[in-house]
Amino acid sequence: MNAFIAIVGRELLLAARRKSEVLTVLFFFMIVVSLFPLGIGPEAYVLRHIAPGVLWVAALLATMLSLNRLFTFDYLDGTLEQMALSSTPLPLLVVGKTLAHWLVSGLPLVLLSPVLGIQFDLSARTLGVLMISLLLGTPLLSLIGAIGAALTLGVRGGGMLLSLLVLPLYVPTLIFGAGAVEADISGIGAGGHLSLLAALLVLALFFAPWAATAALRIALE
């Protein structure tokens, strides 16, 4: 656990030194979401109808912006190889790096979403469902993204390949996350969608670190 806490603290410290990268994710999310009400118009019904998809797609794309850097810097300076050779299990270190990625790139989106959701005339209850869906969904995006980042590590043009790999895997998260908000707006209840998101998150927590570790070991050979 000391190694796990150390790797999370190290990643957060490095993120604090690269504030521009963190702010890029936040500003991208804010700008993309804010442009839709300006472009579509003030019709409340239309805005409420498109809000789930807009907010979730913007969060998904914002999360993808930082995936390519999840392992790249450690791979280039040899830190990743030292982690693989250390006595600490590499899957635990992968979980630590993924958690730090979520704390920097995913959690701010969750906290910012209610403020941006007001632009779409969403009720307080729906904003709560939006936060819960993102709270369950954004860690899932980071875990899946860690697999893609590990598979494309050291590959020329890895950023484009990473997008092609993870986007199809993101589709279920997008469907259930946006579906939860839309179900609450329609008055049919979001419990089913949120339960499926939670189930996907549990599966990803179990399988994603091992899959990412296997891909990292292949990249380091």
Say if residues 183 and 189 touch (Cβ distance below 8 Å).
yes
Q: What is the pLDDT along the chain (221 residues), one digit of tens a residue?
A: 677 888 888 888 888 888 887 888 889 999 999 998 888 877 888 888 898 899 999 999 998 888 888 887 777 777 778 887 777 788 888 898 899 889 998 899 999 999 998 888 888 899 999 999 999 999 999 999 999 888 888 777 667 788 888 889 999 999 999 999 999 888 888 888 999 999 999 999 999 999 989 988 888 77
Q: Where are the domains of the chain?
A: 2-220
CA 208 to chain CA mean position, Å: 13
User: What are the respective helix, strand and coil percentages of the chain, to the nearest 5?
Assistant: 85, 0, 15
